[in-house]
């Protein structure tokens, strides 16, 4: 007992007056190292004890432990935890420098902050009730340490830490969460996992080991980064990595800033315990789950309610107040928020509009906010309008009471605000932009894109805005060399107003990454042997002479490829040129062709109409019409198969009906029955088309319509 007390006194003394460091130790301290913020509440003391028992004393990491402590009682937590580790355990003090292989514990009745590697204490904003000390520290840790920050969420109730792990992930740090089954109280782990930001979800006993592995791997990668070897190795495989992502998600990241992409890939390599970019590329090809994880990492953006409050105050007074007060006509005010992530910024803007509508008594003025993002998971979250309790750190109590309702420990956005916003997936570089907009809020998206792509997006924004419309960018973004397109309304908070250009602004759309970023290797195409060429020529000759005429069409009935000899059944129509096969087909063919193509494309099955009579240049041909769909490619093959005449063919029109032979009469009856069947199926196809059109008209009246419909309707306006 006396030995333990002596050890505690030694530790206390060391905390109060750190020993001077030698130059060698000071140099080591200057080297980057990981700072691990560990958050816990109910059941947290037991979890922290088990956690520290698994951490080696020489891990090279520092640990800052944040718990929900009673503000009115002295804490013995640092003494309890000191018994579980050979590392020094300190009660955090003002100005204390964080060092590797040390443990720091938050004191009671204080919020802990880190800046410049030093801890600072602040009196909590709320001494009683709902507090967020974990979020408070995690956010400062993310801002101060960036990629060296690690956030760990252990057992606890509530949602503290949820906003903090988002901030850490946004800065390229690591997020680790105790799995819900091993947590005594799973509330905090569950809330953190629901964000989709967790890199690792592990049982408590496995977390220390994986943290050490991650730190060691990061150090190895950093050592190779100094001569830029690892960056070069990653850059060499980037085109292939982008191709793999594009193949699964359909999105191209080659226009992102290369340094940002390289850092995110290096982080994923460390998470997966890989040193070689080639090994990581192999893992991507074999593991679709890792493609999704990298995709989410590349999309991460910092978002919260009223981020940079002063910026939103300026936006409210200089832009939104002006729009609401001076707007005339019945057309709604239109706002576009590209890169909306999980929707906090979109709801912030909607709240500002609602406040001004109430202030100016213009509740009948309609406001449409189009909030878009690449990530459909984030869009789905944003649509729900449900946010954790700890948004109280970003929203005033007045706004919480006016625009949110507390439901099951979450805050639900009220209907009038929610109904202003249409959330939809949208690719800024590929999908059509909105048009005739009053305001575009694009904050902290351009900073992730290279300079060439920024120069293409800003003219697109200029086109999308109304004359004198407004553009709101992030604090680190600017219109740069394209200042001639915009007037500066607020230089500090990057608010601009559209300026009319003397000359038409050239818009390169769809936006494509610069070709020089990743020059493609020239691949020679070997010349086939002479025997192969001769065989190919022979096959083409036989197909052109003996195969039936055919046409390949797409889902819009447009011809994309013709074989030989199709002119007997298809001819260009009079007037405007078209590739629509129904307009080019002979009149006798159109009913059967419409029904056959419609059935083939909707039912995905081969359709055949036999013995069709087609008048061609005064003659009558008998053909079989075959339509074979290719659903995977959205195409169909239409074949006009001639039927050879037989001795029992139908007689010519000059023979009186009374002299017809029985077999001739049966042939005509079959033809009439076939014509009736074709007419019936054509009618059915028309009815189905009408029903489909009616369903589309109904769905267009719903609030959440698909992005393509939204963009198309906006462009038509």
Does the active-site annotation cover 279?
no
Of 97, 69, 209, 214, nearest to 150 by C-alpha is 214
CB half-sphere exposure, 602, CA atoms < 13 A = 12
Kindly give, in sequence order, each residue whose CB lies less than 8 Å from that of residue 174, ignoring residues fewer than 6 positions away: 34, 149, 150, 151, 168, 199, 200, 214, 267, 271
How far is residue 666's CA from residue 51's CA, in Å, rounded to a whole number? 90
H or E, element range at 636? strand 635-642
Of 336, 531, 576, 344, nearest to 434 by C-alpha is 336
Encoded tokens for 320? 């939104």
Encoded tokens for 575? 């007037």
How far is residue 339's CA from residue 676's CA, in Å, rounded to a whole number? 55
CB 387 within 8 A of CB 410: yes
The per-residue b/e assignment along 546-555, b for 16 or more CB within 10 angstroms, e otherwise, is eeebbbbbee
Encoded tokens for 398? 């007045």
* Radius of gyration over every alpha carbon of the chain, rounded to an integer in angstroms: 34
CB half-sphere exposure, 17, CA atoms < 13 A = 3
The catalytic residue among 101, 111, 144, 160 is 160
Residue 388 to residues 201, 297, 338, 393: CA-CA distances in angstroms?
20, 22, 23, 11
Kindly write down the DSSP assignment for every residue of 221-267, as one continuous string.
HHHHHTTTHHHHHHHHHHHHHHHHHHHHH----TTB-HHHHHHHHHH
Handedness of CA 511, 513, 516, 518 (dihedral sign): negative
Of 468, 470, 471, 465, nearest to 446 by C-alpha is 471
The catalytic residue among 34, 68, 136, 462 is 68
Q: Coil, strand, or helix at residue 509? A: coil
Give 319's DSSP letter. I
Does the active-site annotation cover 41?
yes
Encoded tokens for 276? 């070689």
How far is residue 80's CA from residue 481's CA, in Å, rounded to a whole number? 59
How far is residue 257's CA from residue 453's CA, in Å, rounded to a whole number? 10
Kindly give, in sequence order, each residue whose CB lies less than 8 Å from that of residue 665, ignoring residues fewer than 6 positions away: none
Residue 510, preceding peptide bond in cis (omega within 30° of 0): yes
CB 501 within 8 A of CB 471: no
Does the active-site annotation cover 160?
yes
How far is residue 287's CA from residue 248's CA, in Å, rounded to a whole number? 11
Encoded tokens for 517? 């970023």
Show which residues are catalytic. Answer: 41, 68, 160
């Amino acid at each position: 007992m006396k030995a333990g007390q002596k050890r505690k006194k030694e530790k206390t003394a060391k905390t109060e007056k750190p020993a001077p460091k030698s130059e060698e130790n000071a140099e080591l301290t200057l080297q980057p190292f990981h700072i691990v913020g560990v958050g816990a509440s109910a059941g947290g003391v037991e979890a922290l004890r088990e956690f520290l028992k698994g951490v080696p004393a020489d891990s090279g990491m520092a640990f800052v432990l944040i718990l929900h402590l009673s503000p009115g009682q002295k804490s013995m937590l640092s003494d309890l935890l000191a018994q579980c580790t050979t590392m020094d355990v300190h009660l955090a003090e003002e100005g204390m420098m964080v060092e590797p292989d040390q443990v720091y514990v938050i004191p009671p009745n204080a919020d802990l902050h880190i800046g410049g590697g030093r801890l600072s204490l602040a009196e909590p904003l709320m001494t009683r009730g709902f507090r967020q000390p974990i979020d408070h520290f995690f956010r400062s840790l993310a801002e101060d340490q960036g990629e060296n920050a690690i956030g760990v969420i252990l057992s606890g109730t509530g949602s503290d830490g949820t906003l903090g792990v988002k901030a850490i992930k946004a800065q390229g740090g690591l997020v680790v969460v105790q799995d819900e089954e091993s947590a005594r109280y799973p509330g905090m782990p569950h809330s953190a996992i629901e964000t989709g930001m967790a890199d690792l979800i592990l049982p408590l006993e496995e977390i220390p080991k994986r943290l050490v592995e991650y730190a060691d791997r990061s150090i190895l990668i950093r050592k190779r980064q100094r001569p830029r070897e690892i960056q070069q190795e990653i850059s060499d495989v980037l085109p292939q990595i982008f191709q793999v992502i594009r193949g699964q998600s359909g999105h191209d990241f080659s226009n992102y800033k290369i340094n940002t992409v390289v850092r995110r890939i290096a982080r994923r390599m460390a998470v997966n315990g890989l040193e070689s970019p080639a090994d990581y590329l192999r893992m991507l090809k074999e593991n679709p789950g890792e493609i999704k994880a990298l995709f989410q990492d590349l999309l991460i953006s910092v978002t919260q309610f009223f981020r940079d409050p002063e910026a939103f105050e300026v936006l409210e007074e200089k832009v939104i107040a002006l729009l609401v007060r001076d707007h005339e006509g019945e057309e709604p005010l239109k706002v576009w928020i590209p890169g909306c992530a999980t929707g906090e910024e979109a709801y912030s803007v909607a709240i500002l509009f609602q406040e001004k509508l109430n202030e100016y008594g213009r509740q009948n003025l309609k406001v449409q906010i189009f909030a878009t993002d690449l990530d459909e998971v984030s869009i789905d979250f944003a649509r729900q309008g449900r946010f954790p309790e700890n948004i109280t750190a970003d929203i005033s109590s007045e706004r919480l009471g006016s625009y949110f309702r507390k439901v099951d420990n979450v805050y639900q956005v009220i209907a009038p605000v929610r109904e202003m916003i249409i959330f939809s997936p949208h690719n800024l570089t590929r999908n059509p932009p909105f048009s005739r907009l009053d305001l575009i809020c694009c904050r902290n998206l351009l900073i992730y894109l290279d300079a060439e792509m920024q120069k293409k997006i800003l003219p697109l924004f200029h086109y999308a805005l109304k004359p004198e419309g407004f553009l709101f960018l992030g604090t680190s973004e600017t219109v740069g060399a394209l200042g001639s397109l915009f007037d500066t309304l607020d230089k500090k908070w990057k608010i601009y107003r559209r300026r009319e250009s003397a000359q038409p602004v050239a818009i390169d759309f769809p936006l494509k990454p610069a070709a020089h970023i990743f020059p493609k290797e020239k691949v020679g195409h070997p010349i086939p042997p002479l025997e192969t060429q001769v065989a190919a020529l022979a096959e083409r000759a036989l197909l052109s002479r003996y195969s039936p005429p055919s046409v390949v069409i797409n889902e819009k009935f447009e011809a994309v490829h013709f074989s030989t000899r199709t002119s007997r059944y298809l001819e260009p129509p009079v007037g405007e040129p078209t590739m629509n096969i129904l307009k080019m087909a002979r009149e006798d063919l159109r009913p059967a062709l419409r029904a056959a193509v419609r059935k083939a494309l909707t039912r995905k099955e081969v359709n055949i109409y036999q013995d069709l009579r087609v008048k061609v240049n005064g003659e009558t041909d008998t053909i079989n019409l075959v339509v074979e769909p290719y659903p995977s490619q959205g195409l169909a093959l239409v074949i006009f198969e001639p039927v050879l005449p037989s001795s029992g063919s139908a007689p010519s029109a000059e023979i009186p009906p009374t002299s017809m032979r029985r077999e001739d009469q049966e042939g005509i009856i079959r033809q009439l029955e076939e014509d009736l069947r074709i007419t019936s199926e054509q009618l059915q196809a028309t009815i189905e088309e009408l029903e489909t059109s009616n369903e589309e008209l109904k769905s267009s009246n719903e609030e959440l319509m698909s992005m393509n419909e939204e963009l198309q309707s906006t462009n038509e306006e």
